A and B are shown apart, each in its own frame.
Chain A
């Protein structure tokens, strides 16, 4: 009995404090999601820019990039097919893969920041080496993240549209007896 909280408590400050902390949580959530979304969109733009780096059209695309474009197309088609039968708002369908990709990019930046910190502390040049000769590997990693983001962004099965129950007329019903089952030789 002692741990029960009175719902109609007259303490006004208690209510205000509760509401304020929840509002603050929502505000922080919005800020974080917006930041992740901006990071994700900038990374995608940067990725596209690095593909068409020399602005020479199809000559700028490598075999690996063609393969990745096909993969992204297929995964996008799969994602659209799965979300089609779900109760989801259009903006949520659009933002979920982007937010996932943004999260991956943030993780990659955290890892890179460790390398930069190591370089600063021990006066090494690993970061320069990665930027200089690891361009293709970074691109491969980014494409992998895009593909994983699209793959895991499918909504929960609980959000699927409920199937309508079909009721059969009495004459359409099938009697599950042995008489209705015919065995053919």
Chain B
């Protein structure tokens, strides 16, 4: 009975967190998640499948989708998606004042 109470309190806490959630997908954060999954273009990190949550994989997929879509529309962009993701993810460590827009970041990432 005691365990059931704890479980109920825990699930109530979780549902309260979910209700306050703001569905926002930041490109920089998403690419940082992609970097946590892949160690190179063709190789995943050790235990990546076990250590990645649903939210994190969703964001990583979003970053990969945006990068590939941008490469299809911009003919001048032919560089490796992993390098571009790494370039964008590095902006996660930058100060808020130095942040560039997503479009500008995508454009800059194509120039590497």
Contacts and interface: CB of A to CB of B under 8 A. Distances in A.
Q: Are A and B co-members of a single complex?
A: yes
Interface of A: 52-65, 128, 131-133, 135-136, 139-140
Given A56-B17, A135-B32, 20 more contacts: A54-B56, A55-B17, A55-B18, A55-B22, A56-B54, A57-B14, A57-B15, A58-B14, A59-B54, A60-B54, A62-B50, A62-B51, A62-B53, A63-B51, A64-B50, A64-B51, A131-B93, A132-B89, A135-B36, A136-B45
Nearest to B16: A57
Interface of B: 14-15, 17-18, 20-22, 32, 35-36, 39, 45, 47-56, 58-59, 86, 89-90, 92-93
**Which secondary structure characterizes the binding site on chain B?**
helix
Contacts of A63: 49-51
A61 B57 CA distance: 11
Contacts of B86: 132
B55 A60 contact: yes
B45 to A, nearest CB: 7
Contacts of A55: 17-18, 20-22
B47 A136 contact: yes
Nearest to A67: B50
Contacts of B36: 133, 135-136
B53 A60 contact: yes
A87 B14 CA distance: 37
Nearest to B21: A55
Contacts of A131: 93
A120 to B, nearest CB: 16
10 contacts: A54-B21, A56-B54, A57-B18, A62-B56, A131-B93, A132-B35, A132-B92, A136-B48, A136-B51, A140-B51
A52 B17 CA distance: 9
